[in-house]
Amino acid sequence: MKNKTTRWSDRVIPILMITLTLLFVSLFLIIPLISIFTEAFRQGTRAYLESFKDEYAWSAIRLTLITAGIAVPMNVVFGVMAAWCITKFQFRGKNILITLIDLPFAISPVIAGLIFVLAFGQRTALGAWLIDHDIKIIFAAPGIVLATVFVTFPFVARELIPLMQEQGTLEEEAAVSLGAGGWSIFWRVTLPNIKWGLLYGLILCNARAMGEFGAVSVVSGHIRGETNTVPLYIETLYAGYSTVAAFSMATLLAGLAIITLIAKSIVEWKVKRGRRNTET
Amino acid sequence: MSIEVKNITKRFGNFLAIDHVSLKIPDCELVALLGPSGSGKTTLLRIIAGLEDFEPGHDSDILFKDKSVVGNRIAERRIGFVFQHYALFRHQTVFENIAFGLRVRRGPGRLSRAQIKDRVMELIHLVQLDNMQKRYPDQLSGGQRQRVALARALAIEPKFLLLDEPFGALDARVRQNLRRWLRRLHDEIKLTSIFVTHDQEEALELADRVIVMNKGRIEQEGSANDVFHRPKNAFVMDFLGSVNLFHGRVVAGRTVFEESPEGKTTEFFVRPHEIELLPDNPDGNGFPATIRRVQLAGSIAKIELTDHGNKEIFVEMSHEKYSLYHFDVNARVFVVPKKTVIFAEDYSI
pLDDT, one tens digit per residue, over B89-128 is 988 999 999 999 999 988 787 889 999 999 999 999 988 8
Specify the domain boundaries for CATH 2.40.50.140 within chain B: 272-337
What is the pLDDT tens value at each position of chain A, 280 positions in all? 455 556 777 888 889 999 999 999 989 888 988 998 898 888 888 888 888 888 888 889 999 999 999 999 999 999 999 999 898 888 888 889 888 888 888 889 899 888 888 888 778 888 888 888 888 888 888 889 999 999 999 999 999 999 999 888 889 999 999 988 888 999 999 999 998 889 989 999 999 999 899 898 888 887 777 888 899 988 888 888 888 888 988 999 999 889 988 988 888 887 777 655 554 4
- pLDDT higher than 90, residue B88: yes
| Model pLDDT, residue B1 | 78
DSSP string, B14-70: TEEEEEEEEEEE-TT-EEEEE--TTSSHHHHHHHHHTSS-----TT-EEEETTEE-T
Instruction: Mark yes or no for CB contact A178/B88 under 8 Å.
Output: no
Q: CB-CB: which of B83, B88, B105 is closest to A179?
A: B105
Chain A residues inside the 8 Å CB shell of B90: 171, 193, 277-278
Chain B residues inside the 8 Å CB shell of A181: 75, 104, 106
Residues 174-193 of A with CB under 8 A from B: 174-181, 184, 188-189, 192-193
With contact defined as beta carbons under 8 Å apart, do B161 and B188 qualify?
no
CA nearest to B272, candidates B298, B244, B300: B244
Q: How far is CA A177 from CA B3, B82, B165, B292, B320, in A?
A: 17, 9, 17, 53, 52
Specify the domain boundaries for CATH 3.40.50.300 within chain B: 3-239
With contact defined as beta carbons under 8 Å apart, do A219 and A145 qualify?
no
| Model pLDDT, residue B123 | 92
- pLDDT higher than 60, residue B261: no
What is the ipTM for the molecules in this complex?
0.80
Nearest-Cα distance to chain A for B198, in Å, is: 21
Chain A residues inside the 8 Å CB shell of B89: 171, 174-175, 188-189, 192
Read off the pTM: 0.77
CA nearest to A248, candidates A44, A49, A56, A31: A49
- pLDDT higher than 60, residue B241: yes
Chain A residues inside the 8 Å CB shell of B156: 178-179
| Model pLDDT, residue A280 | 41
| CATH architecture type of domain B272-337 | Beta Barrel (2.40)
Q: What is the CATH number of domain B3-239?
A: 3.40.50.300
